[in-house]
């Protein structure tokens, strides 16, 4: 896929942002019984009392992923790739609004 891409967008958010979003999404899915991956439903007991916890995974992999993102930005795997690193949700919203053009904003559905 990278050979056909012209850019990679990296969301390199701070841990508190990532963890808060994971927390809200997990609780919303569990509370409302929303379907997630492959028709599964979130079960809170799995996130607090098992090794399969997404919260545990987030904490264990955050630093490594951040190093990988920075290495990718410093040395793109292909010379033609532009690496766009966005470090805050606000930066991401501004970038999306800019690429959407003057007719649309972030909340307009990005057709």
Look at the alpha carbons of 50, 51, 57, 63 in this order and tell me if their dihedral is positive or negative: positive
- pLDDT tens string 11-34: 999 999 999 999 898 888 878 877
- pLDDT tens string 98-107: 998 776 545 5
Assign residue 16 a region: left if phi > 0, alpha if psi is -120 to 50, beta otherwise? alpha
Distance CA 69, CA 87 (A): 11
Distance of CA 4 to the CA centre of its chain: 21
Distance CA 87, CA 93 (A): 11
Tell me the percentage of the chain whose pLDDT exceeds 90: 45
Look at the alpha carbons of 81, 86, 91, 96 in this order and tell me if their dihedral is positive or negative: positive
């Amino acid at each position: 896929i990278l050979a056909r891409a012209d850019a990679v967008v990296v969301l390199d958010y701070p841990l508190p942002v990532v963890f808060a979003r994971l927390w809200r999404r997990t609780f919303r899915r569990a509370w409302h019984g929303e379907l997630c991956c492959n028709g599964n439903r979130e079960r809170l007991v799995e996130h607090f009392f098992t090794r399969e916890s997404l919260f545990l995974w987030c904490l264990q992999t955050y630093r490594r992923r951040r190093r990988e993102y920075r290495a990718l930005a410093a040395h793109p795997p292909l010379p033609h790739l532009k690496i766009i690193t966005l470090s805050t949700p606000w930066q991401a919203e501004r970038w999306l609004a800019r690429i959407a053009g003057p007719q649309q904003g972030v909340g307009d559905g990005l057709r």
